[in-house]
Amino acid sequence: MPNGIVSNNPCIDAVLAEIALPGQVTAVSSYSHDPDSASAPLSWSASLPAVGTGAEELLLARPRLVLTGNLASSGANAVLARAGVKTVAVGVAPTIDEDRNQIRLLAKAIDRVDAGEALISRIDQSLPHNQMSGPPVSAIIWQNGGFVAGKGTLQDELLQRHGFVNASEQYGLAAWGVLPLETLVRNPPQVIFMPTEANGADARALSARQAMLKHLGGRTQIIEFPDKLLFCGGPTIMKVSAILAETRASVSTLARTNIR
């Protein structure tokens, strides 16, 4: 449908699924049609055409507004500007505050300010409001390929909010660094958030990882954490917060039981 709102970014799609009116969005990112990469509900995104990041494909959608990530091709954005198509770009939010700002920017761009504030309120309600009791719990979020979310990432802030200490720093990792399996096994954290499923080469690497982690015994909890929960903020924060809150509560319960 021409003269609509087109998004070519799966993180933006997830926000639009929550705040846009029916019929406002006329195309979404091709990533939002893939269950392994979609952050928006598939039932919503699959009902809309998918587009890539190329200028030609975007222009064929005949949009009045394109919402895109700031890592998209600057050349494509320049072509859209010359064609008179308005573009709004957002990056990967490194903090919860910046994520709120991005939701507000997108909500304003599609004239859905109140819906944007309602989404922000729901995200805020999913976060802990009080200091977590008990000693901090060391943890990492470890995705397929070995990358770990370190300092300066949204995931690091979420770990801290839920009473975890991000162990990435003790391994000398930056914002996103690769953690060798041997290094982790020598000095494991109390909790590892990681995928338990993968495809192709990642599946073979994951199988080897799981075999070695068995040697940790009961010293470390392994918590299911799909890679796609690392891709975006927005509504994904609520899903991540639920996992972190449940895990932190279980660690506290286990600690109290052991004391008795």
The pLDDT, as a whole number, for residue 202 is 72
What's phi and psi for 77, nearest 5 deg?
Answer: -65, -35
Domains of the chain (ranges, CATH numbers): 5-125 (3.40.50.1980), 137-259 (3.40.50.1980)
The pLDDT, as a whole number, for residue 199 is 74
Residue 234 has pLDDT above 70, yes or no: yes
Average confidence (pLDDT) over 122-132:
88
Nearby residues of 35 by Cβ (< 8 Å), 6 or more positions away: 42
Residue 121 has pLDDT above 90, yes or no: yes
Q: Which two tokens stand for residue 245?
A: 């809150």
The pLDDT, as a whole number, for residue 14 is 97
Residue 256 has pLDDT above 50, yes or no: no
The pLDDT, as a whole number, for residue 254 is 53
Residue pair 95/151 in contact by the 8 Å Cβ criterion: no
Closest alpha carbon to 195 in 226, 149, 164: 226
The pLDDT, as a whole number, for residue 259 is 40
**Average pLDDT of the residues of the chain:** 88
Each residue's pLDDT tens digit, 46-100:
999 999 877 788 888 889 999 988 765 567 777 888 888 898 989 889 999 999 9
Task: Provide the 10 A C-beta neighbour count for residue 244.
Answer: 26
Rg (CA), the chain: 20
Q: Full-prediction pTM beyond 0.75?
A: yes
Q: Over pLDDT 90: what percentage of the chain?
A: 57
The dihedral built from the CA positions of residue 220, 225, 231 and 234, taken in this order, carries a sign that is negative
Residue 258 has pLDDT above 80, yes or no: no
Confidence class of residue 133 from pLDDT cuts 50, 70 and 90? low
Confidence class of residue 29 from pLDDT cuts 50, 70 and 90? very high
* Farthest CA pair distance, the chain: 70
The dihedral built from the CA positions of residue 117, 161, 67 and 28, taken in this order, carries a sign that is negative
Each residue's pLDDT tens digit, 190-233:
999 988 877 776 777 777 777 778 777 677 999 999 989 998 99
For residue 195, the number of C-alpha atoms closer than 13 Å in the C-beta half-sphere is 21
Average confidence (pLDDT) over 25-35:
94
Angstrom distance (rounded) from CA 53 to CA 72: 7
Residue 112 has pLDDT above 70, yes or no: yes
